[in-house]
Amino acid sequence: MSADDADDVVTPTRLPNLPALRVSPALLEERFAAGCDTRRCVGRCCRSGVWLDPVERDRVLAHADRVRRAMDPGQARDARRWFSRRVAVDPDFPSGTAVHTRVRDGRCVFLTGAGRCVLQKASSGRLQLKPFFCTAFPVTVVEGVLTLDDRDFRAGQPCCEATERGPLTVFDTCGMELRHVLGAAGVSRLRRLARGRRAPARS
Q: How confident is the model over 101-122, as pLDDT tens digits?
A: 999 988 899 999 888 899 999 9
Is a pLDDT exceeding 50 seen at residue 202? no
What lies within 8 Å, CB to CB, of 71 at 6+ separation is 77, 112, 118
Is a pLDDT exceeding 90 seen at residue 96? yes
Please report which confidence band the pLDDT of residue 179 belongs to, taking 50, 70 and 90 as the band edges: very high
CA separation for the pair 157, 52 (Å, rounded): 22
Whether the Cβ atoms of residue 40 and residue 62 lie closer than 8 Å to each other: no
CA separation for the pair 30, 177 (Å, rounded): 15
163: left (phi over 0), alpha (psi -120 to 50) or beta: beta
- For range 10-28, the mean pLDDT: 96
pTM of the model: 0.89
What lies within 8 Å, CB to CB, of 16 at 6+ separation is 94
Residue closest to 170 by CA, chosen among 201, 139, 200: 139
CA separation for the pair 114, 152 (Å, rounded): 23
CA 18 to the chain's CA centroid: 15
What lies within 8 Å, CB to CB, of 135 at 6+ separation is 120, 177, 180
Share of the chain above pLDDT 70, in %: 89
Q: Is residue 187 within a helix (H) or strand (E), and if so which, with residue range?
A: helix 175-198
Question: Would you call 155 exposed, middle or buried from its count of C-beta atoms within 10 A (0-12, 13-18, 19+)?
Answer: exposed
Is a pLDDT exceeding 80 seen at residue 7? no
Rounding to the nearest 10 degrees, give the CA dihedral for residues 84, 88, 90, 93.
30
